[in-house]
Amino acid sequence: KLNIGVDNIQHGVEGLTYLLTESSKLMISEIDFQDSIHVLGFSDELNKSLLQLYLDNRKEIRSILGELAPRLPSYHSLEWRLDVQLASRSLRQQIKPAVTMKLHLNQNENQTAQVLQTDPATLLHLIQQLEQALGEMKTNHCRRIVRNMK
Q: What is the pLDDT of residues 53-74, one digit of tens each?
A: 999 998 999 888 888 877 888 9
- How many whole angstroms separate alpha carbon 112 and alpha carbon 75? 10
37 closest CA partner among 52, 18, 51, 26: 51
Strand partners, 118: 99
Inform me whether the pLDDT recorded for 150 exceeds 70.
no
Q: Give the single-character DSSP code of 139.
A: S
CA gap 38, 15 in Å, rounded:
15
Do 112 and 73 contact (CB within 8 A), yes or no?
A: yes
Give 89's strand partners.
none
What's the pLDDT tens digit per position in 81-134?
Answer: 999 988 887 877 888 899 999 999 998 888 999 999 999 999 999 999 999 999
DSSP assignments along 75-129, one per residue:
EEEEEEEEEEE---SS-SS--EEEEEEEEEEEETTEEEEEEEEE-HHHHHHHHHH
**C-alpha dihedral, 58 to 63 to 68 to 72, nearest 10°:** 130
* SS3 state at 74: strand
Q: How does the average pLDDT of the chain come out, rounded?
A: 88
The amino acid at residue 118 is: T
DSSP string, 46-73: HHHHHHHHHHHHHHHHHHHHHHHS----
